[in-house]
Chains A and B, each alone.
Chain A
Amino acid sequence: MVDFNNETTATITPSALVKILILQRRHDFLEAQEHYYKYLSDDVETPVSLDMVLARLRTLFLELQPMLKRQWKGQEEELEEFKKIFTNDSKEKNSIEKILNHFVQLNAMLDAVGLLKIDNKKAYDTTSWEESNNAFKI
């Protein structure tokens, strides 16, 4: 998505680049959990590893960390809790549900800052002239 070898990338503002990177990381995580469930349902005898899912969540977390510090001010415990899942000691205890819960938290934060909010168009009855006119302030 973001090509750092391309000269034109330098012309894009850092905030726009970061937005794209975050979305990319988020997409990668979703892909990883999809693979996890796919292999789980394939009924193979080899135990399925959570490593890839966890690694991608970690990347997303690291990408968002400075923002999380600001957004979760006063909720330092939650941030610490978040960090715990990446330490080796607690690795065994991690379950896919726990990882997904953390992802949901991040997702909610991204929605709150407007990165995922696409349903911002005013909803109105399009079969009504007046509602339609009012939506355009006419």
Chain B
Amino acid sequence: MRSKYNYSNGLPFDKTLVKNLDAIYDRVKKQKKGAIMVIDGGVGEAKTTLSVHCADYLNKKAGFGEIDLTPSGCIQLAMGGKDFVTKLKKCFEERLPVAVYDEAGDYSKRGSLTSFNAMLNRVFDTFRTYQIVVILVLPNFKVLDENLFDKGLPRGLLHCYDKQQGKYGNYSGYDHVRMQWIKHIMGKIRVKQQAYSIESPNFRGHFLDLSPERSHQLDMLSTAGKLDSLEKIGVKMDGLLTYQELSIRLQKPISWLRYTIRTLGIKATKKIGLVNYFTPDIVEALITHVDSVKPVGRPRKAYPSEYDDVLAEGG
């Protein structure tokens, strides 16, 4: 029976996607191989909603309920790289079949791009036995490392487009080979989004919205991740510095910085999560402190200069 949130098959998406999700699940659970499913699309195309639908389906297939979207209990939907690594481990401990990584603005930074790719490579090198389907939610899958493609890890792509607000969202499914072609075409043309139209998809489909309650929970989660990211960007714009950045500027170890800042009684200007931020003035204060501190140990004896005798004689 079709409803506002489910099609006649009892799911918020069609049977073709079900078939593909089943195949990915079997690959991970039965064949014990690694698999990444990528969901990409422009801003506000309901990528995260579709990822939650897919995760719900895989969870139910493994005998679990829908994924928990409450801030305290959400371990299958990670916002950002660090969160993802922590939650992936938790998913393994609880034998959950799927983990979702949502970029939440984190992936678009060049630094995090490299570190995330490196992390993902490491995760799949060492934790294949986790038997977890990883769903990556990105604005554009082109940012994924070539190495992941060489390993054949991304098994399929769902490209979200043209969402009909309040009605349904659209997706196109591309297999690994088509993904590689799209990536290649993107490198050749000016308007990268056109590449999705040039390469024909394996299948197309619609998906429906989450129930209002879950949709609200997801909004809260997603917004929290994005706000955190925005706050961090704001801090960067203010020119505030972290311990790592101070360490690079002053060429001093972080442990020394922590000790000195505590000794001098300097308070952090801002604290986001566990990260302390300081104003740039602190650099001057620390340099002055470095100059004023006498080195520990016996004072150095100056070597006699060849002019000492001349100076002693008065000229």
Contact = CB atoms under 8 A, between A and B. Distances in A.
Interface of A: 126-133, 136, 138
Nearest to B16: A127
Given A136-B177, A138-B176, A138-B177, A130 B20 contact: yes
A116 B26 CA distance: 39
**Chain B, interface SS category:** helix
B97 interface: no
A126 B177 contact: no
A127 B203 contact: yes
Nearest to A127: B203
Contacts of B23: 128-131
A129 B16 contact: no
Given A136-B177, A138-B176, A130 B155 contact: yes
9 contacts: A127-B173, A127-B203, A128-B202, A129-B175, A130-B23, A130-B27, A132-B176, A133-B155, A133-B175
Nearest to B21: A129
A30 B177 CA distance: 41
Given A127-B203, A133-B175, 11 more contacts: A126-B202, A128-B19, A128-B20, A128-B202, A129-B23, A129-B24, A130-B20, A130-B23, A130-B24, A130-B26, A133-B176
B259 to A, nearest CB: 53
A129 B152 CA distance: 12
B37 to A, nearest CB: 9
Contacts of A132: 175-177, 202
Nearest to B35: A130
A128 B175 CA distance: 8
Interface string B160-184: 0000000000000101110000000
A133 B37 CA distance: 13
Nearest to A126: B202
B121 to A, nearest CB: 18
Nearest to B180: A138
A120 B202 CA distance: 21
Contacts of B20: 127-130
